[in-house]
Amino acid sequence: MNSVEVAARKSRWFSSFASKSSSSVPWISPLQYRKTNSPRVDPPPQNTTTAMEVPRKPNFISHNSAINLIKRERDPQHALEIFNMVSNQRGFSHNNSTYAVILHKLAQFKKYDAVDAILRQMTYETCEFREGVFLNLMTHFSKSSLHNRVIEMFNTIQPIVRDRPSLKAVSTCLNLLVDSNQVDLARKFLLNTRQDLNLKPNTCIFNILVKHHCKNGDLESAFDVVREMKKYNSSYPNLITYSTLMDGLCERGRLEEAIELFEEMVSKEQILPDALTYNILITGFCRGGKVDRARNIIEFMKKNGCKPNIFNYSALMNGFSREGRLKEAKEIFHDMKSAGLKPDKVGYTTLINCFCRAGGVNEAIELLKEMKETDCRADAVTFNVILAGLCREGRIDEALGMLERLTYDDVYLNKASYRIVLNFLCREGELEKANDLLGLMLDRGFVPHFATSNELLVRLCKSGRAADAAMTLLGLVETGFKPEAESWSLLVELVCRERKLLAAFELLDGLVIREV
For residue range 199-227, what is the model confidence (pLDDT) as tens digits? 777 898 899 989 989 988 899 999 999 99
Residue 457: predicted pLDDT = 81
Residue 51: predicted pLDDT = 45
The residue ranges of every structural domain in the chain are 449-516
Q: Is the per-residue pLDDT at 96 higher than 50?
A: yes
**Mean pLDDT value across residues 362-382:** 91
What are the phi and psi torsion angles at 395 (to 5°)?
Answer: -95, 65
pTM score over 0.75: no
Q: Which helix (H) or strand (E) holds 188?
A: helix 183-196
3-state secondary structure 52-116: CCCCCCCCCCCHHHHHHHHHHCCCHHHHHHHHHHHCCCCCCCCCHHHHHHHHHHHHHCCCHHHHH
C-alpha of 56 from chain center: 44
Looking at per-residue confidence, does 185 or 56 come out higher?
Answer: 185
| C-alpha distance from residue 299 to each of 211, 260, 278, 280 (Å) | 29, 18, 11, 15
Phi-psi group of 501: left, alpha or beta (phi > 0 → left; psi -120 to 50 → alpha; rest → beta): beta
C-alpha triplet 473, 477, 479: angle, nearest 5°: 125
CB atoms within 10 A of CB 40: 5
Going by the DSSP 8-state scheme, the letter that residue 267 receives in this structure is I
Residue 512 pLDDT grade (very low, low, confident, very high; cuts 50, 70, 90) = low
| CA nearest neighbour of 116 among 76, 67, 152, 164 | 152
For residue range 397-448, what is the model confidence (pLDDT) as tens digits? 999 999 888 877 777 888 889 889 988 988 888 888 988 888 888 888 888 7
For residue 410, give the 3-state DSSP assignment. coil
| C-alpha distance from residue 421 to each of 92, 99, 328, 398 (Å) | 60, 49, 30, 11
Can you state the angle between helices 485-497 and 466-477, rounded to 10 degrees?
A: 140
| CA nearest neighbour of 124 among 153, 89, 160 | 160
- 388 Cβ contact partners less than 8 Å away, ≥ 6 residues apart: 356, 420
